[in-house]
Structure 1
């Protein structure tokens, strides 16, 4: 009974410490693995000795296996196939050719710099070929890089995990059975991958079919059915061929995501929560079992080994694998820098350390220590500086330019012209053929389609633009379109014109959709103003002197319904104005001001005045201080 309580206490402490690390990471905005490492070591036998993972016995191996299965399955679920298509060549190279580069480069570094025997050196290299979604995904949540780079890093992390784990098993088998034929080892690798992929594809399709057709199951029960199916596939693959279960879980996740099952968001949320819990507990336990003394015993040669892996092997890998891609040098440089190792490397290294010790092979503890040294150095050096590097290279998603606008009307055409005159790409999408022709007459890129058509959105370039704006005449439709775009593609800025009391906003307080322009904007009214020439287009700059005075007068005109702020130019980037924007010094505001005088002239003369707004360029808009001297474009 006492032993049972001790094991229970160990798990409870690991859970509390793991979730605490996640909370601290979320608060400080750093990768969670940083605090997981710190707390794990602090609670372990080199710290206050509160955690003793070895007391779990074989239970630790079970926790490792089942947790890694959930992690890789969740990674497969999060893979966007339409995004992978754009980096498929580079991703294929990284998972195949890149794995070999890291294997041989890491092995040579460990042998020549770390002075490990060749067999142990290549075993280490096989353990660190993986980057790992457990580190990459949280890192990319805090470091918002452009979608193409993020997709490549996520795809590499998910797909290379099972390949690396299986490769490590092949290398270990070769070490334990020195007479193994190399050709036999290679075919063993291919057989494991093939069996795992086949079981995963079939199992993922069956799970997708069940979720679509088993209407008698509640949503909560469906999630648990998927979890049971996942572990069942993992166990089946492992039974048929050891270490093939990892590939089965990845492929099952990819196929299930491609099946477009109902309530997909609930499934992703459930699996994401399981992954966070699993990673938290597992990494706390593994780092608590780490001996700091064993890492110091490795000497400077091991530090140089990790540095060579980071600054020689990784750049060589990225340079060769992305040679023919359309990635620019900034994107490639960021890919060279970000390759932190994570839970799969740690867990497999811990298991291998036990196996090597049991078989009487020296080097088990050294392998585990060197892998954890690699994790610590890559996580702290790369993870903590990734945001700064991305900003320095100007590849953060908030720096993305261009816009996709749903709805072709006079107001949206005007905004599109301003983006285009600024040199940014812009695309309009509408189902009204006549409205599209009017936009095309302004030399704008237009798609005659629905804003719900994902293929059209992809062709329009939604994965690389900075802004998605829905501004049809229907506020509810705008919100639905924007919400769908945010969920499917996650553009940096998603805005829509909808009334403040829209039901969707009250039910989804955490939505990524921002309200555009004003809390209550009548697009129909301002489109009429534009058609009748009853507006003036201008811009103003908020200066430090008189800043408060300018804000007050701007807000007074907005409240009176006489002015609509359209765009804001800040840090040399043009953005659509959100309804709840906090103005800053040196902001340039481009606005529309209602002026009824042209309508009065029309009544007096019987002529039809024509608005010149669509015919002029943004560069010719006069900068005028608010609130007086507001003039139309000359």
Structure 2
């Protein structure tokens, strides 16, 4: 349908397509520009909604918008629960407990005080809205962590707090609203308590039953492989709907518990389920942010005054830091990590959705200032998303809580040639980690001062003990072709297929051993096997890095090193790019060429 004016209503199909294109397009553009994706999605929604008037969710989608957002938030929280494996907590477990059991009630108190004394809301609205303010938003935290590349423990603290406290915040609002109903004589105290207790009990039971049922049926083979994801989605929706029917907003708790139960069930198919859910969550986060931003009305924001600005500043500079620092006192968490968590509290979808719901309910009960709840929620979300989107990474770097600014390389295999290659990379200031299941194979690397890990790179021990966030590229280079293929295939979804390489296989030329493109990594270096490279090392060949200048070009280097095999180039910022031929070498000033050269050329250099 052609749009004649900005006020023309979009057909629902066109509206859904527009939301999808803008949401995913914003994420892709953010990746290309190295910007926070949340900021671009928020901006895109505002531009097509209240600014241009091209898309109005209430007009173009109608009554479907509210249930769509509710289901999307439920799936997002479930996916978050799927990532909460208790083994992944380790030394952060005490901090997470403090942030949940101490931080949630304390955050409720500080938020309610800020709402009453700074924003000027009455106590009823402040207490209900303060309960919702507990949440920090997994829809925002996940993209921020992906961009900022934080160290493991602060990342785990922020992720667990966001996911666990999200349903707690919604339930806190339900509890506070029940108290308000009692005070306004809309219901009795006994009815309110009974309804709340029953709702929480049902949500917890449904979450455990749903999670255990999925885990048991998948493990016993009752569900065929091709139906696992559809069955998972159907059970998820059923658990959420049933729990929400008993007590509004309790469905969020049910699906979070369901996700945590499945995450800790050691399912063989857990990895595939998690990756699929991550992809679905990216789509849902994109769509929900576009919808919420496009649905905002400038007339509602016009009701706010200077108190709104003071309230947002009070939440960011006082309420959040006080809550976190008090909660983590005596927890053993390093003070720098406490500071990072204290000043990182972005709000997201759940806050806006639940705040709008309870704002309408309170307004219907006669609390006129409840009309300010939805605009205040949106302003807080917009401010914190922009603030933390641009400041989290540099703030964490200043505190020394991120991976190296220069992307590192993991070399899997303690071979003579990988050790020599690692030494050259380390001298070129590229972070290197060498791993090998055999402790003895890493002896030379340890002597050379290279960071090593003795164990299987695919093991849980590697995931828990290594700061993998510092490394963006992995090279599978053991003397076992099958193991190299397994490592490259398994780690490709985590590192990205363009960043996973594998040394050439000894049997790659044989039709009987040729692997499909879905297995293994990209070709590493010249077309040479591990055996062939090691043979050259034994003959006296060596790795070296040569810096190009305006006077000393790539052509001159090649003329002086005619037999050298080029493996990589390192750009002026320290980013390494593996190459397979001279055509891939982009000669420019300050670019370093890493190559394997004959003994005569090494001595000449």
**TM-score normalised by the chain length of structure 1:** 0.77
The residue number in structure 2 matching 1:604 is none
Give the Cα separation in 1 of the matches to 2:445 and 2:280: 48
Please state if 1:347 is matched with 2:353: yes
The residue number in structure 2 matching 1:122 is 127
The residue number in structure 1 matching 2:590 is 586
Give the Cα separation in 1 of the matches to 2:538 and 2:602: 24
Give the Cα separation in 1 of the matches to 2:60 and 2:494: 45
Match of 2:490 among 480, 484, 506: 484
Q: CA deviation at 1:347?
A: 0.8
The residue number in structure 2 matching 1:78 is 83
**Secondary structure at 2:527 match in 1:** coil
Please state if 1:430 is matched with 2:449: no
Match of 2:160 among 127, 143, 155: 155
**Secondary structure at 2:546 match in 1:** strand
Give the Cα separation in 2 of the matches to 1:365 and 1:496: 59
Q: CA deviation at 1:410?
A: 1.5
Structure 2 gap ranges (5+): 1-8
Structure 1 gap ranges (5+): 1-7, 598-626
Please state if 1:312 is matched with 2:318: yes
Q: CA deviation at 1:286?
A: 4.0
Please state if 1:247 is matched with 2:253: yes
User: Is the alpha carbon distance of 1:438 and 1:301 closer, same or farther for their aligned partners in structure 2, counting shifts above 3 Å?
Assistant: closer
The residue number in structure 2 matching 1:624 is none
Q: CA deviation at 1:341?
A: 1.2
Match of 1:91 among 93, 96, 118: 96
The residue number in structure 1 matching 2:106 is 101
User: Is the alpha carbon distance of 1:464 and 1:99 closer, same or farther for their aligned partners in structure 2, counting shifts above 3 Å?
Assistant: farther
The residue number in structure 2 matching 1:24 is 25
The residue number in structure 1 matching 2:385 is 379
**Secondary structure at 1:363 match in 2:** helix
**Secondary structure at 2:243 match in 1:** helix
The residue number in structure 1 matching 2:231 is 225
**Secondary structure at 1:506 match in 2:** coil
- The worse-fitting range, judged by mean Cα deviation, of 342-351 and 63-72 is 63-72
Please state if 1:196 is matched with 2:197: no
- The worse-fitting range, judged by mean Cα deviation, of 224-233 and 238-247 is 238-247
The answer to whether the Cα contact below 8 Å between 1:53 and 1:286 also exists between their aligned partners in 2 is: no
The residue number in structure 2 matching 1:62 is 67
Give the Cα separation in 1 of the matches to 2:291 and 2:466: 47
Matched pairs, number: 582
User: Is the alpha carbon distance of 1:365 and 1:550 closer, same or farther for their aligned partners in structure 2, counting shifts above 3 Å?
Assistant: farther
Report the aligned-residue RMSD.
4.3
The answer to whether the Cα contact below 8 Å between 2:433 and 2:453 also exists between their aligned partners in 1 is: no
Give the Cα separation in 2 of the matches to 1:443 and 1:523: 23
Q: CA deviation at 1:97?
A: 2.1
Match of 2:537 among 513, 516, 530: 530
User: Is the alpha carbon distance of 1:398 and 1:22 closer, same or farther for their aligned partners in structure 2, counting shifts above 3 Å?
Assistant: farther
Give the Cα separation in 2 of the matches to 1:297 and 1:545: 65
Give the Cα separation in 2 of the matches to 1:295 and 1:254: 38
User: Is the alpha carbon distance of 1:400 and 1:90 closer, same or farther for their aligned partners in structure 2, counting shifts above 3 Å?
Assistant: farther
Give the Cα separation in 1 of the matches to 2:472 and 2:39: 30
Give the Cα separation in 2 of the matches to 1:142 and 1:424: 19
Q: CA deviation at 1:90?
A: 2.2
Pairs within 5 Å for 1:164-563 = 164-178=169-183, 195-214=202-221, 217-219=224-226, 221-323=227-329, 332-389=338-395, 395-397=401-403, 399=405, 405-415=411-421, 426-431=433-438, 435=441, 449-456=455-462, 458-459=464-465, 462=468, 468-487=474-493, 494-498=500-504, 506-507=517-518, 515-516=523-524, 518-532=525-539, 534-536=540-542, 538-550=544-556, 552-553=558-559, 557=562, 560=563, 562-563=564-565
Q: CA deviation at 1:366?
A: 0.7
The answer to whether the Cα contact below 8 Å between 2:421 and 2:543 also exists between their aligned partners in 1 is: no
The answer to whether the Cα contact below 8 Å between 2:152 and 2:467 also exists between their aligned partners in 1 is: no
Please state if 1:630 is matched with 2:604: yes
**Structure of higher CA gyration radius:** 1
Q: CA deviation at 1:367?
A: 0.6
**Secondary structure at 2:517 match in 1:** helix
